[in-house]
A and B are shown apart, each in its own frame.
Chain A
């Protein structure tokens, strides 16, 4: 079976696995004062540093704080809930956000994107100008999970800050695939998840600027500097930290590896006699993602055929792929129903090979020809 759905989740990197292996059976509650607890705490703080390093900051307490959560969805909820449930606040989110942000659209200003999936800066600016809220939050994802399209976050942050708004970026799909520097992007908040780049599922983080106060979503034992109660998932966090260290070491070679394969696949698709459209091909995208539209060829039918022939791909975001509703991302970009419903997503990982994409291409041609 060929796995081409790495934006949904990735297999555990072998080095992450061997690092976690040692600790999976070890009793680890980092709040305990005995040596088992202190060891767990040391491992936890070590992981925190690796994640900080990957994201371009060193001082994990002075500059930014890494708050471990159970999932990227929880990290997104943690930051958004601080601004949604507050009458003094207003939230501005893009029309292509992940469900864990987009679910709050009815309580927020939704900012348009253009045909290429890039945020409409003038729409954001006029909405920010009009706002009279004391506290404002702009939330725009760094790279989209369905299309891979990368937003000009640095410019968006600048605009947000010019209007006194805080800036959050759901960077879950980007981290580990492209270089992400939180200070360069000038973010106040960022969400990251481990299982999207070879780390363990069950560990994620909200990174927040240290001098900004947030209210926790989960109250209790005072863990994570009172920002997130509950015994930390130390083994998974160790895996998260290890995945971050690995990504930092070989990010550029991985980026090139995935991009070469992806570009070859897209060249083949466009050079064939199939009438395909690749979403976002003219703009900056993640090196591993290709969203292929083949108008009026139903995605579900394609996915079933691909699965029968041993290729695992998806029609979009994993959490919504069980639903029958169309992708709000493609709809926001102005695609028509027949196009939206035909889109399938190929997302490569570090273990993907030339053979994988060749096989995919052959099958794709066969079922759509």
Chain B
């Protein structure tokens, strides 16, 4: 037994002793486990307080409605909004669709231009492409190698014809934080609406819609230890932002979004927001500590492991690494004890390298070897210690299989090699 495997065995035992189970969940950007306190808050609304909050004629309904309104203020408080500015939806994807389509429908005869960024979530990019087919002009801004949008470029792109600027708060794949305040200022100057998909930032970093001049913001419940199937859209009231609804019917959510509110999910979402608000500093310190430890351990013991995205301007629960001289997906296949993702969850079944990493200028080979490690409230130090050791063991093993690594060891600069054409 090598010292490395002995060490791994010990660290595995530590994980088990600490009460965690395998595989270790390190995919907190895809979804988070629901906080037990959230489940406790939700449960009564599934079983005994199950009224339809839109019925107006009995106490079951009033009880449900009251609970939904409390949740609305809990969500609003976290971003400095008023409860009246929060519309509940089924999730951030719906909210994002609702904003892009709804704003375009309502204001499309006045302005025809949308500005967004190449590294946005797929649902933003897909909806923008759909709007292009409907006659809108969309500018897809590049990002700098650190993943942050270039503000000068953005400033130049926003014109009098720009209806909407959509830039996410925290990137789902690489965790970098975009300069929302500065973007908001530029939008205000040009009279364009500023939308931010804050699904990955809400409850994790401080976001204030007033300070950032955000007009619309998309929020998700299941990224903040709340339940799946619920999210929200912030819609500014002063000055009032209007949009054409996407789902029509009973006129719930002040006509913006019809359909019976899922009271237990809404309650759980509110509770999750409240907990996030109380524990944001603690959670931030926790993931930062894990981030530093994990990255230091790996980078001080292995060469050529690169962090994707800016190291400081980020949410430290997200750590996206590229492993040089390791074949494609072999790393992710070798670490079955870790539940991680090789890209954004919704695209991880495709073999295309991540478009986000590509936008950073990461080459296809490096993009293929990238893995996203997502730390969260429930990730323990024992888990991270085991994870880093497991990664290190596999870096060595997999590189021994790589002819490129061998050449590098021999001092050959592989960028200078002229490969023979087949």
Q: Scan residues 113-162 of chain B and give those whose CB is less than 8 A from a CB of chain A.
A: 121-124, 126-127, 130
B229 and A5 contacting across the interface, CB-CB below 8 Å: no
| Set of chain B residues within 8 Å of A73, measured between Cβ atoms | 247-250, 258-260
B347 and A32 contacting across the interface, CB-CB below 8 Å: no
Question: Known contacts A1-B60, A321-B55; is A231 also within 8 Å of B248 by CB?
Answer: no
A313 and B25 contacting across the interface, CB-CB below 8 Å: no
Question: Known contacts A74-B90, A232-B228, A313-B58; is A32 also within 8 Å of B250 by CB?
Answer: no
| Set of chain B residues within 8 Å of A77, measured between Cβ atoms | 246-249, 258
Write the nearest CB–CB distance from B279 to chain A, whole angstroms.
17
Can you list 15 A-B contacts with CB-CB less than 8 angstroms, sorted by A residue number?
Answer: A1-B59, A20-B46, A25-B34, A32-B345, A200-B46, A201-B260, A219-B123, A221-B93, A222-B346, A231-B30, A235-B228, A312-B58, A313-B57, A313-B58, A319-B54
Question: Known contacts A27-B25, A319-B249; is A70 also within 8 Å of B55 by CB?
Answer: no
A223 CB–B CB distance under 8 Å: yes
A338 CB–B CB distance under 8 Å: no
| Chain A residue total in the interface (Cβ 8 A) | 74
Question: Known contacts A11-B48, A230-B94; is A315 also within 8 Å of B57 by CB?
Answer: yes
A186 CB–B CB distance under 8 Å: no
Determine which of B36, B54, B124 lies in contact with A318 in the assembled complex, contact meaning CB atoms within 8 Å.
Answer: B54
Question: Known contacts A24-B39, A34-B27; is A201 also within 8 Å of B265 by CB?
Answer: yes
B23 CB–A CB distance under 8 Å: yes
* Alpha-carbon separation in the docked complex, A34 to B346 (Å): 13
B8 CB–A CB distance under 8 Å: no
| Set of chain A residues within 8 Å of B248, measured between Cβ atoms | 73, 77, 100, 103-104
B175 CB–A CB distance under 8 Å: no
A33 and B258 contacting across the interface, CB-CB below 8 Å: no
Q: Of all chain B residues, which has the CB nearest A226?
A: B126
| Set of chain A residues within 8 Å of B345, measured between Cβ atoms | 29, 31-32, 37, 221, 231
Max chain A Cβ within 10 angstroms of own Cβ: one of B27, B39, B121? B27
Max chain B Cβ within 10 angstroms of own Cβ: one of A69, A219, A312? A219
Q: Of all chain B residues, which has the CB nearest A11?
A: B50
A71 and B260 contacting across the interface, CB-CB below 8 Å: yes
Write the nearest CB–CB distance from A290 to chain B, whole angstroms.
16
Max chain B Cβ within 10 angstroms of own Cβ: one of A3, A31, A33, A313? A33
Q: Of all chain B residues, which has the CB nearest A102?
A: B249
Write the nearest CB–CB distance from B139 to chain A, whole angstroms.
19
A128 CB–B CB distance under 8 Å: no
A98 CB–B CB distance under 8 Å: yes
Q: Of all chain B residues, which has the CB nearest A222?
A: B346
A5 and B58 contacting across the interface, CB-CB below 8 Å: yes
Determine which of A34, A221, A222, A318 lies in contact with B55 in the assembled complex, contact meaning CB atoms within 8 Å.
Answer: A318
Determine which of B52, B60, B250 lies in contact with A100 in the assembled complex, contact meaning CB atoms within 8 Å.
Answer: B250
A58 CB–B CB distance under 8 Å: no
Q: Of all chain A residues, which has the CB nearest B50?
A: A11
Q: Of all chain B residues, which has the CB nearest A200?
A: B46
* Alpha-carbon separation in the docked complex, A358 to B105 (Å): 53
Q: Of all chain B residues, which has the CB nearest A33?
A: B348
A218 CB–B CB distance under 8 Å: yes
Write the nearest CB–CB distance from A225 to chain B, whole angstroms.
12
Apart from A8-B52, A236-B228, A307-B58, what 6 extra A-B contacts exist at CB < 8 Å? A35-B339, A73-B249, A221-B123, A229-B93, A230-B93, A321-B57
B123 and A220 contacting across the interface, CB-CB below 8 Å: yes
Question: Known contacts A5-B52, A36-B25; is A24 also within 8 Å of B227 by CB?
Answer: yes
Question: Known contacts A8-B55, A17-B47, A314-B58; is A231 also within 8 Å of B249 by CB?
Answer: no
B349 CB–A CB distance under 8 Å: yes
* Alpha-carbon separation in the docked complex, A3 to B49 (Å): 11
| Set of chain A residues within 8 Å of B97, measured between Cβ atoms | 217-220, 229
Determine which of B51, B127, B258, B349 lies in contact with A319 in the assembled complex, contact meaning CB atoms within 8 Å.
Answer: B258
Determine which of B31, B48, B250, B265 lies in contact with A202 in the assembled complex, contact meaning CB atoms within 8 Å.
Answer: B265
